[in-house]
Structure 1
Amino acid sequence: MAIGVAAGVSVGTVISPYAGAALADDAAGPSYLLVGGTGSSNIGVLRESGGRLIPVGQPVPTDTGTLSITVTPNGRFAYVAHTVSGTLQGFRVGDDGTLERLEGAHLAPGRPIVGAVVSPDGKWLFATVGSVTNDVQTYAIAPSGALTHVDSVTIPGATSGLSIPVVSPDGRFLFAPSFIGATMDSYAIGFDGRLTPTGSQVPTGDRPALPSVTPNGKFLYITNEGTDDVSGYRIAPDGALNPIGRFPTKAIPHGMAITPDGRYLYLPQTGGQSVNGFEIRDDGALVPVPGAEAPSAPGHLPGRVVLSPDAQRLYVIDTLTTTGTAKVFTYRVKPNGGLEATAELPVDTGVTFSDGATGVFASLGPA
């Protein structure tokens, strides 16, 4: 992996054509889908309203090689990690969907920043930094969105790189996979944001990419791009991971979404050019859901799925497409877990090659 140098790119506020109407039909505050352009060095902003996605202005320029976007629980701050430029940049999310660079929220350690995740209480940002091997660095998030370094731990192993971590819904544990080393490590998160290893390192399938934890905190799943399956783990009370099985998929499974009730899991299969749904059984086993297979449109390779804020729709984001820029396709989620295509036309994000954890909702709460 090339180690980039920090690049200074000036980004101002993006003017939205929908400014002034942001709260008109969103009583709980507007929601915006942020889609990162790994290849195009920008972020597409799409407003979600009434089951429709509407582009907000032009895509926002960023640094290079985005693999992660994470937002604070109130949706007011977004942090974008870049592997090529070796930087992380924070943005303030305006009521109208504008993104404005944050002072005091720009990291430039001189090494790739691969993954980034914010704790559920909004106090901490955890970033994985490095190339062949990764450190997990903790940063305190100030009320202004500024970042202050707190601590750093090294993920064990000679090839612990390309790690995109996830935090448990209760904020007690962080789980860090190694895409290169095919392993997963667990850490307890202290009251001060410091990480302490817990449990033993566990194996995954080949090229584990993007982990997710069920809302009740019982199970963790990760897609294995190299072995075309999903590894499942039961999370022990101390955060240790106990393997419960490997569940086959089609080709190159990628970024998944789990429903808020923890009953269903959806994932795109980039090589299989489709999206598939699975029921999560009480023991953590994944069983395909009849009627939850959605073939991709010709020329579109899905890379990530994201549930709408009300979990009634599944948005499928291209990772690659023959049309040049990534599109988002909309499906209705049925009560039985099935998927149904809607009449909504695909929406252009304005970004190219959206890879990694680069599709996330910012649902705005009080400032």
Structure 2
Amino acid sequence: MPREIQATSICAVGATLGEGPIWVERDAALWFVDIKAPSVYRFDPETGTLDSWDAPDQTGWVIPADDGGFLAGVRGALHRFDPATGAFEHLAAVHPETPGNRLNDAARDSAGRVWFGTMDNAESDETGHVYHWHRGALTKTDIPPVAITNGPAIAPDGRTLYAVDTLGKRIDAYPVDADGRLGTPRVFLTVGPDDGHPDGAICDSEGGVWVGFFGGWAARRYAADGSLTDIVRFPVANITKIALGGPDGRTAYATTAAKGLDEDARAAQPLAGNLFTFRVAIPGVPVDPVTL
């Protein structure tokens, strides 16, 4: 039987679409975004302080860079974000042929590549693709397009990529070679009708896959063989993504969303959009800064 855990609210954010949590070791803090606000947040668990910066457009994620700033996925382009000044500097356009798309989720692999996906902002057309970016070179992968990409999650050895098809309610596992080329996928997970939609995904240090479930009131961990090991219950419906951090890598943080809740649902879920936390048995994988 899977282990059952209860998540608790740790910071009142009230995000419309909280996303992209990532533990940044250099300042012992959790960074995340509200895509629809749009804003970038830094939460210091030691002091409980929540800092925020306005973003120029819908921002799906930030990943620390080795120059002290961040690589950020802003609407249809990659930017450098400088928290010291709040400035966003355009680096590369991603999908000028699909202006209705936006960047959605991302992960850094052990080789320094940043894998990320796009999605139809209207959440209907299958125009979302998965890319990787490395030292200024942008590559579109051969993963078939879907309406909403999520993840991708990267195994700790960098040899497996988990691509989430949110509306298709499935996760496929792709082998990755040393040059970042993807092999033939296998189905890793199909999601039942009552479990919500698979959203953001990450891997822990044992290769387990943590998935947030939008509309599912839960996050779940799956072993590398696809078996369910942990289920985390929330008092809110929309869990978007998990990050693992803290001094021992075993404190989980979860972003959530109030998006899509009507007035009655919002009243019934006053903590929707907040940042949540719980403890896990297996630590996460530290995220090294990327080179811009």
Give me the TM-score of the superposition, normalised by structure 2.
0.67
d(CA) in 1 for partners of 2:93, 2:41: 22
Is the alpha carbon distance of 1:227 and 1:93 closer, same or farther for their aligned partners in structure 2, counting shifts above 3 Å? same
- The corresponding residue for 1:17 is none
Residue 187 of structure 1 deviates from its aligned partner by: 1.9
d(CA) in 2 for partners of 1:92, 1:300: 20
**Matched residue pairs, number?**
258
- The corresponding residue for 1:155 is 95
The answer to whether the 8 Å contact 1:135/1:153 transfers is: yes
The answer to whether the 8 Å contact 2:174/2:184 transfers is: yes
Residue 177 of structure 1 deviates from its aligned partner by: 0.9
- Mapped pair 1:278 → 2:222: yes
Is the alpha carbon distance of 1:295 and 1:135 closer, same or farther for their aligned partners in structure 2, counting shifts above 3 Å? closer
- Mapped pair 1:252 → 2:204: no
d(CA) in 2 for partners of 1:124, 1:306: 19
The answer to whether the 8 Å contact 1:136/1:153 transfers is: yes
Is the alpha carbon distance of 1:314 and 1:186 closer, same or farther for their aligned partners in structure 2, counting shifts above 3 Å? closer
1:1-367 superposed matches below 5 A: 55=10, 59=12, 66-70=18-22, 72-75=24-27, 81-85=33-37, 87-89=38-40, 93=44, 95-100=46-51, 106-108=54-56, 112-119=57-64, 121=66, 123-130=68-75, 134-139=76-81, 141=82, 144=84, 147=87, 149=89, 151-155=91-95, 157-158=97-98, 161-170=101-110, 172-180=112-120, 181-188=127-134, 190=135, 195-198=136-139, 200-247=141-188, 248-250=190-192, 251-262=196-207, 264-280=208-224, 286-289=225-228, 292=229, 294=231, 296=233, 300-301=236-237, 303=239, 304-307=241-244, 309=246, 310-312=248-250, 319=257, 322-326=268-272, 328=276, 330=278, 332-333=280-281
d(CA) in 1 for partners of 2:91, 2:178: 24
The answer to whether the 8 Å contact 2:116/2:131 transfers is: yes
Of residues 316-325 and 224-233 in structure 1, the stretch that sits farther from structure 2 once superposed is: 316-325
- Contiguous gaps of at least 5 residues in structure 1: 1-50, 281-285, 336-360, 363-367
The answer to whether the 8 Å contact 1:116/1:125 transfers is: no
d(CA) in 1 for partners of 2:146, 2:227: 19
Deviations, residues 234-285 of structure 1 (Å, cap 9, x unaligned): 23323333342233123411223422232x11324344555443222xxxxx
d(CA) in 2 for partners of 1:150, 1:115: 15
Q: CA RMSD in A?
A: 4.2
d(CA) in 2 for partners of 1:95, 1:79: 14
The answer to whether the 8 Å contact 1:314/1:333 transfers is: no
Is the alpha carbon distance of 1:174 and 1:148 closer, same or farther for their aligned partners in structure 2, counting shifts above 3 Å? same
Which structure has more relative contact order (CA 8 Å, sep 6+)? It is 2
Letter in 2 for 1:252: H
Query: Rg larger in 1 or in 2?
Result: 1
- Contiguous gaps of at least 5 residues in structure 2: 1-5, 121-126, 259-264, 288-292
Letter in 1 for 2:72: A
Q: Secondary structure at the match of 1:138?
A: strand
d(CA) in 2 for partners of 1:271, 1:92: 25
Identity %: 13
